[in-house]
Structure 1
Amino acid sequence: MFLAHRAAAAIVSAVLALGGATSPVLAESKPDGKPAVIVMDDERIKLAEIELRDAGPAPIGRRLMVPGTIVPDAGRIAHVSVKLSGTVAELRKNIGDDVVKDELLAVLESREVADAKSEYLAARLSNELQQDLAARDKSLSEGRAVPEQQYVKSRNAAAQSQMRLGIARQKLMALGVTEAEITSLPEAAAGTLRSQNIRAPISGRIAERKVEQGTAVGRDNLETELFVIVDLSQVWVELAVASTDLPLVREGQPVDVTVRGVPETGAGRIVFVSPLLDKETRAARVVASLPNPDGRWRPGSFVTAGITIERRDVAVTVPFAAIQTIEGGKVVFVRIKEGFEKRNVAVGRRDGTVVEIVSGLSAGETVAASNTFSLKAELSKPGDED
């Protein structure tokens, strides 16, 4: 960081040198109390890469800082298990692959599913015949060509066949066969009756694959779980809040999440505050939900969470990088016609990268918001033109 400050100061010094010896660069404070001014025009400010920001109102929050850990959202984890006995015939996806909901993951071969499909097809054919007979007998009964008793008998048989078809359908669905696959069974090839497709229940990424091709799966102490899919587009932040701080924490509060060495901050919200305390640590489990569309928040990462427990609007704020300390006092560099004017200020509460200015600066004034260390360094140099 020190080397970066020295490099920034060197850039500004080089830019200021472009003004030539006849143009004063630094006007030190005079006995009449006029503040020091660093002379810079717009072009030199741009070359020095000094960012300008307007001081103005902003909300300032008071935060409770708590260490935490990124974990997967428990509602976005899917364990893909089999509901029948069989053998893994095909594996379409591997660990690390991205999948979408209902995408094919694997194909099993199972006598159990073959029997269930055959039972369904037989029940479907029987139901079609019984429905046709019931319709025919109804027509004949209305024309008094057959006794009404015969129609009642065929109608009961049709109802029973309809019930058996429904039971056969429910059995297939219980084994994991989808509605679309059941509908296409009458046109399916005979060799596919023993095949059972395993599809992704959610979109996400395959975190675990627990079987190989040819593995026997199902009941009788065999492996039943094939894959674990995790959707990391939304993650949780697990926090442990001390019992003394719990009265300040409630569900719905905003949370800012940071990790050491990473400049970006994540914005989440508390979704759960446990009513129970840990017996050993006397802390409560608090969970915050954090959007993660780009996947930069990895489960297992240690983070720091700032829980906003109070927020108020203040009239004047500046970026934290705009503040420098000179001779024990806080100063900012205000943009004026000639360049930058050193201005003593009193600072209040800080909220992340924003600092409240209590006095010394008015809303609407423009300040240097970056490379301010280099401007401070220029003020520390001896006056060459004195």
Structure 2
Amino acid sequence: MMNWRSAPLAPATASQTASSEHADERIKLSDEQVAAAQIKLAPVETTQLAEHFLATGTIVPDADRIGRVAVRVLGTVTELRKRVGDPVEKDAVVAVLESRELSEVKSEFLAARLTNDLQQTLAARYKMLWESRSYPENEYLKSRLTAQDARIRLDSARQKLLALGLNEAEIEELPNLPIEELRKQSLRSPIKGRIAERRVDLGALVGREGQESELFVIVNLDTVWIDLAISPTDLSKVAENASINVTAGPDGPNGVAKIIFVSPLIDKDTRSAKVTASLDNAESKWRPGMFVTAEIPVPGRGAVLAVPKAAVQTIEGAPTLFVREGQEFVARKVQLGHEDDNQQEIVAGVNAGEVIAVSNTFTLKAELGKSEAEH
């Protein structure tokens, strides 16, 4: 078997290249020399390009995973159970306040509850007496009307408590609480997450007439969003539900996000459209405020004639492929089209099925230059 070092590349003779326009466009190279030079051959094929374009963006919290703890009554903060950065579960108590207004509404509910129980009992008893013909119908109808009014008042008092932030379990527990507990309200987290902001201090007056009504901001970063700015020329290439590759620089994390929203509006100042993508962050690699680059895929144009990028060399300013013809490589100029990360579309110059060099083509380029210098 011929060794690459013992059998250096030799340009074809004039008689061997008579069919070529220029003698130095051909390189004679045996199969043994091809193997020794580790030049890989492959046929030109049609394939689907994985085209994409780049867009920059910023990591922001998922707007569906932000919870705010606010108060709806005038009161004083007596306990702060969570600090900034603390993890919280859904419905966990983050603070406790005392409110005279809340105490009055709770008392109203308890009174309405007792009145309703009494009126419902009386209405049931008068109904039995009326059905036994021992009680006047008019009196029975009055008792039933009074019972209905008591139920309405109870429901109204319950709705007030719900509007002030109490849940059903807390309302049902009210009759069992000591009287001094009626002025207290537990503020609970609406979601699972971490305390991102605490906007109140112990002893602060809060509520409608106070200084603050929103006390805590809680963020769940298990999923984050990416706000991308897309130019109008690229906007038509972006599709909702498409997967995109995201990276935060050479040393930063990378991942795959899903586009969930493409704005139909163009910002008048930036002349770009907002595109939002959702990104899994279970490992807490992505932090709001990070700048990222996204590779957004372009919808396919169908199969095209393409070769590996390593197969293309530039010779005399023109893209060139080395086509294998018998024991020779022919340097053939081609016309390029679109490309992706690995493949280059060939618009003209070669046909499907022709065998070309797809690796170590720089060796062939160097040998071609050597033969030209010799001539």
Fold-level similarity (TM above 0.5): yes
Which residue is 2:238 aligned to? 249
Give how far 1:281 is off.
2.5
Is 1:259 the counterpart of 2:248? The answer is yes
Is 1:153 the counterpart of 2:142? The answer is yes
Distance 1:170 1:111 in 2: 18
Distance 1:129 1:263 in 2: 68
Give how far 1:326 is off.
11
Is 1:187 the counterpart of 2:176? The answer is yes
In structure 1, the residue corresponding to 2:279 is in which secondary structure? strand
TM-score, normalised by the number of residues in structure 1: 0.69
Unaligned runs of 5+ residues in structure 2 are 8-28, 39-45, 321-335, 354-359, 364-375
Question: Structure 1 residues 209, 304: CA separation in 2 closer, same or farther (over 3 Å shift)?
Answer: same
Which residue is 1:63 aligned to? 52
Question: Structure 1 residues 283, 184: CA separation in 2 closer, same or farther (over 3 Å shift)?
Answer: same
Select the residue among 101, 105, 108 that pairs with 1:112: 101
Bigger shift: residues 253-262 or 82-91: 253-262
Partner deviation per Cα, 1:275-309 (whole Å, 9 max, x = no partner):
22222332111111222111211111111011111
Which residue is 1:381 aligned to? none
Which residue is 2:269 aligned to? 280
Distance 1:291 1:356 in 2: 33
**After the TM superposition, which parts of structure 1 deviate over 3 Å for at least 4 consecutive aligned residues?**
26-33, 35-39, 57-60, 311-315, 323-330, 347-352, 354-359
Instruction: Give runs of aligned pairs for residues 358-377 of structure 1, distance below 5 A.
Output: none
Distance 2:243 2:123 in 1: 66
Which residue is 1:74 aligned to? 63
Contact 1:77 1:230 in 2 (8 A): yes
Question: Structure 1 residues 211, 59: CA separation in 2 closer, same or farther (over 3 Å shift)?
Answer: farther
Which residue is 1:165 aligned to? 154
Query: Which amino acid in 2 is paired with 1:290?
Result: L
In structure 2, the residue corresponding to 1:78 is in which secondary structure? strand
Which residue is 1:301 aligned to? 290
CA RMSD of aligned residues (A): 3.7
Contact 1:252 1:270 in 2 (8 A): yes
Distance 2:189 2:102 in 1: 19
- How many residue pairs match? The answer is 308
Is 1:125 the counterpart of 2:79? The answer is no
TM-score, normalised by the number of residues in structure 2: 0.71
Is 1:198 the counterpart of 2:157? The answer is no
Give how far 1:310 is off.
2.5
Give how far 1:78 is off.
1.7
Question: Structure 1 residues 219, 157: CA separation in 2 closer, same or farther (over 3 Å shift)?
Answer: same
Give how far 1:146 is off.
1.3
Give how far 1:263 is off.
6.2
Question: Structure 1 residues 189, 37: CA separation in 2 closer, same or farther (over 3 Å shift)?
Answer: farther
Give how far 1:265 is off.
2.5
Larger Rg: 2
In structure 2, the residue corresponding to 1:248 is in which secondary structure? coil
Select the residue among 216, 229, 246 that pairs with 2:205: 216
Give how far 1:327 is off.
12
